[in-house]
Structure formats: structure tokens, C-alpha cells
Amino acid sequence: VPWDEALDIGAEALQRVRQQYGNESIFGGSYGWASAGRFHHSQSQLHRFLNGLGGYVYSIQSYSTGAAQAILPHVFGCTSHQLMAQTPPMEDILQHTRLVVSFGGISMKNTQINQGGIGDHSARAQLQKAREAGVKFINISPVRDDVADFLDADWWPCRPNSDVALMLGLAHTLVTEDLHDKAFLNRYCVGFDRFAEYLLGQSDGQPKDAAWAAERCDIEAERIRQLARRLAGEPCLLSISWSLQRTEHGEQPYWMIGALGCLLGRYGLPGQGVGYGYGCIHNFGFAGRQTLPFKVGELPQGENPVKTFIPVARIADMLLNPGGTYAYNGQTLQYPDIQLIHWAGGNPYHHHQDLNRLRQAWAKPETVIVHDNVWTATARHADIVYPATTALERNDFACGGSDTYFTPMHQVVEPYAEARDDYAVFSGLAERLGFAEQFTQGRTAMQWVEYLWQVTRQRSAEADIELPDFNTFWHGGIFAVDKSQLKKTEFMLEKFRADPAAFPLNTPSGRIEIYSERIASFGYSDCLGHPAWLEKQEFLGSPRAQKYPLALVSNQPRTRLHSQYDHGITSRQSKIKEREAARMHPQDAAVRGIKDGDIIRLFNDRGACLAGVMISERIRPGAIELPTGAWYDPQNPAEPNSLEVHGNPNVLTRDAGTSQLGQATSAHSCLVDVERFEQALPEVKAFKQPALETVE
């Protein structure tokens, strides 16, 4: 239909739902990596528009770190982002540390990205320097190449989701052999005595010793004991990836590694303690201590009059259970009755779990409006689709968090066909809904870009950092802030260690909470008052593993960013017979008669998908790797639970909260089985445009 009619239809839908059900029936999505620009940031554009309309139901947390976002404020009194941004920098590690023990690895592929763009690509060089300085690495992961080969790491191929058991085994050895730092625990922590009762088995009759841990993590007990002694005897750093908290009880690995760090007494020492998120994006751990002391300009979103929210990963629960109640972080909340979803950028059919369940939930609202520049599965499941421009078709500027590079993003080509940027679409909708002036403030898109630069420049001047005027910046290429202008940051835990009375943590006790009275008061059976091993439904040691004996590792891909550019040549060349490539151990392949290059069917009771197979000893037996990001492609879209033919692992993953505390995604707790696919290969249609009919 023509643009004017398309905008009329969208405005009418928004107005109808708003008048009939109220603004609490509108969900403002737009979770995703649609733009690195400061102005054409899809989430900001959508939220500004919906706030001007009277508000919307919003989401909190992220799929990346939802459980960490819930647990870390209770333990350290700060947000997860604050703690991760102050992860010990690699420059300190190579000077002060001899051993890095990495739970979940330090994946090089993820260091190529950063929210808002990245100018510094030095992670590989920094790690190489650490190795050359004699730092040793241990990779605790079911996948060998979660740590780069050039680091010559000692690989501990633990069972997926068993890290807490291993940490408890290490902690038990430290305590029973009197290797723990009692002075640190007494001065900087609360709750060790309560935790020790559990650790030593005094509260439940089961000591969490190395032998107990070995049964769960599949690492020899003596090896665990030796590592504990080594950790106590030399300068060390514990590292934990984001992936470990995307599991059943995903809060526990982050809490338990904190407790282990306290037992070792290394928090607040340069290059030691615990590092959160190395290898998850570039800047955590690799940005150094000299980072921007001001916020880069962002599009003002206004105030949202609607106060109802959901943890972001509970979207399908919300749509399927309007009016239902659920526990979250000490609160009892109620799901709203959503009648309209507005989504600009992002693709829940990539990042959400149990896609067959999501399809069922997605059909509940009266209207779904999507803006995008490609036919994602989300766009294919929408009622109204607005064709949006790409970053190459508009002007903007970029600067990522903790980065020191500002990049002018010049328009390269005219918009394809009749595509419009999100700002133009929202301006057209706002005009029809009576608040165009409020939304645009009389500015064109380019005027907004210049305005946001002026805001950035003003903030930088207040921090005594000089940025060029807009004209100089816009025509001068990438601008790098002179790091000599930047002060070295003293981290929160360093100040706390130096003087806990002067710099207390923002916890109830002012100290690190190994035992949390606040969490204990919630009465949750799936998140106790202290870190603990909690039995899991989807674990290689669980009863469910008798039916589905392989643990699915659905990690980040090497050939694209999430699902972006899956249709590009780099991603497509990595596929096997047009399907995403899965890796499995020779032992698991042999018992199923599977050979390298075969097409396999991965399945469980939630769904099934096809993939090509690579036989590799770089993944442990009992695990199978299928990266995320293959565009969702059901063989028969009209059929519920249709076979997914392209290799999207989220038809298999579980859609359940980590716990009542965090309600985050638990995608990495997933059991499957595999068989050789013997039938004729279905066509991959994910990259083909759906049939369109022009209405005169």
C-alpha cells in the first residue's frame, strides 16, 4: 500500500487499542542491535514515540546478562554493568597475575563488537602480551576454542552447567585445608559462616568436597584439589563469561564465583579478584582504565507514564498469561493484557527461546507493527511492516560505551526504493496522532544528529575533554580522544579494599554479601540466601538426559553478529548444504552412524531443526554445539511445530526463567538428541522475499 495509507493504518491501530484498552495494552519492544548510531537507535526512537503517545509496557534487563543484573546488586551493591566495566584490565593482569582461570572462556570472536560501535580492536594483542609475560590460562568449558589457541590454555572440558559444583569443590578444599583468607572475609564480607555450614555439609549432611564436585562436573577430584592449592598460592584472576548465567539457576555461577573470589581474598588488588565478561564484548577488560568520563549524547526518550514492566525474557509468558502473577526479585507482579506490539529493529525470532511457543504467543495481540530493512521472521509474523533504511542510507555518528573513538556515519547511498528511516516513520505516525511537534521538536534528522553532537561536546567540555565542533568532526573522519587527557579510573572495589569504612558498598551491610538476608527473606526455593548447587531439569546428570542425552551449546556464531548478515557471503559459506554447521564429538557421532558433512536432525519435545555436522574433538563428549543466528525457517509456516530446516537452535531451547529472583533466559540449559536426516532436503526459504500483493 502507499506510505500515507500504511501510516494511516498504523495510526488507527495504535489509537484504537489505546482508546479501547489503554496504554498498558501496548508493548514497546525493539530489543536488538539494529543501529550503532546515536540518533537512529531504534529502541530510543520507538520509546520516545510511545512515551509521547501516553506510555507503554516496557522491559527491563537483557537476554545477555539478565541473571547477573538481578543477583550482582544484592552481592556487591552496584549494577552488573558497573561491575563489568570495572573488570580488572588486561594491562594490570600481565603485570600482577600469573594465572587466569576462565569459567566459560574468553572468546575472541566476541571481542570484535561493542554496543554503539568499536574503534579499539586490541583484545588479541593484549592477550598475546599477557601470554608472553608468562601468564598461564585455564579454560573451563565444554568447547576447547572458547579460549584462543595462541594462549596455550589448559582445557578442562567440564559438563555444561556444572561450574557451580566445580567452584564449590574448590571452595571446600580452600576451607578444609585452611587456605582461605580469613582476614579478608572478616573485614570485607558478611555471611561466610552461614555459607560455610552449607559448604561443609553441616546444614544438609552433604559436604561439597572435590569428590562430590567431580561427580557433577566430570573433572577429577584430585585435579580440583590441586587447582585450589594453586589458586591460594599464586597471584590469580578468576574470569566468568556471560554465558554461564543464561542457565537454570543462572544467578548461582555469578554469586558463587564472587564467594570464591572472597575466599581467595584478591578483590581490589590490581589484575586479581574476579573478571566479569572478558570475551563477551571488547571493552570489558580490554578498554583499560582511561575511558570517557562523560556520557555521549542520546536521543531524549521522555517519561513513560506506564509503570508496568516485564523482565525482557518473559515476553511469551506475558502474552500467553494476561493477568497472571509471577515472582520477580522479591516482588509479586502481574502480566498485562497486551493487544498491540510495536517493534522497531531487533528480532525476537532470533534471540528468544522455544520459538514454537513464541509463535503461539505472538498470535495473541490484535496488532503487531514492525520496522525493519530485511524480512526477518519477526517481520514475517507482523500485521504491519514498515520498510526501514539501513545505516548506509542515513547520517549519524557512533561512539560505543567505554570507547574513545567517535565515528561520523555518512550516508553512502540513497534509500532503496521507498524505504524510510524510523524517525520519518514515527514522525508520520505522530503527526496523525496529534503530537508531531512534541516528537520532532521541529528538527530534521540531520539537525538531531548535530544537536546530539553538541550535547556530547558540552558534556566533554565539563569533563575538560576537548572535542571538535560539528563541522570539523563531520568532515574530518574518525576522531580519537587523546588518552593523555583521560585520568586513570580507580575502581570501586579498589577503594573499598583500601578503606571499607570510607567507601562502603551499597549493600545492606556495606560489605560483599556471601549470605544475603534480603534474598533469604524472599523465601525462594530456586535462589537461596547463599550461593548453592541446585538440581537442574536439563543437565547431563538429570533424569531427562536418559531421553535426550546431549547438552546443546547454543553459543555466538563466528561468521556474523547474532543473526545479522546471516544472508551475507561469509555466513553462507560457513554452512553445510545451506544449513547451519553443528559440531559434535566423534564418540557421539559414531554411536549414531553420523559422518562429517551429514545433515542431522536435532530434536527434543519442544521442536526439531536440521543442521550440517562437523565432527570435532574440540567439543567434549555429551555436548553438541549449534550457534545462534540462523534465520528461522519452518518447513511449513502454517503448521504448528513444523520442522525448522535452517539450523536455528531456539526451536530447541527452554523458555523458562533462571529463577524467581532474575526471571532471565535459561537457554543454555537444554538437552537434545540427534539423528542422521535421511529424507530429501527441504528448501531453505529464509532469505527469499515473501510473496507481496500491491493494493491499488
The CA distance from 603 to 11, in Å, is 42
Spatial CA neighbour of 276 closest among 470, 69, 53:
69
Please tell me which residue in 33, 405, 451, 565 is annotated as part of the active site: 33
Per the DSSP assignment, residues forming a β-bridge with 369 are 342, 384
Amino acid at 428: G
Q: Does residue 255 have an active-site annotation?
A: no
Radius of gyration of the chain (CA): 25
Q: Is 511 exposed, middle or buried (0-12, 13-18, 19+ CB in 10 A)?
A: buried
Are the C-beta atoms of 599 and 579 separated by less than 8 Å? Answer: yes
Residues in the chain: 696
CB distance 639 to 678 below 8 Å: no
Q: Do the beta carbons of residue 285 and residue 295 sit within 8 Å? A: no
Catalytic residue among 31, 56, 278, 335: 31
The Cα 422–Cα 299 span in angstroms is: 13
Q: How far apart are the first and last CA of the chain?
A: 7
Beta strands across the sheet bearing 396-398: 396-398, 405-409, 479-480
Helices (H), 602-679: none
Instruction: Tell me the β-bridge partners of 342.
Output: 28, 369
- Cα distances from 585 to residues 220, 559, 596, in angstroms, run 20, 21, 11
| Selection from 471, 513, 474, 518 nearest residue 496 by Cα | 513
Residue type, 426: F
Report the relative pairing of strands 396-398 and 99-103 from DSSP bridges.
unpaired
Write the CA distances from 18 to 69, 212, 450, 692, integer angstroms.
32, 57, 34, 29
Residue 416 among the catalytic residues: no
Q: Scan for cell 536432525, then name that residue.
A: 601
d(CA 471, CA 450): 9
From residue 594, give the alpha-carbon distance in Å to each of 164, 536, 599, 647: 33, 29, 9, 17
H or E stretch at 674: strand 671-676
Q: Is 237 helix (H, G, I), strand (E, B) or coil?
A: strand
Active site residues: 31, 33
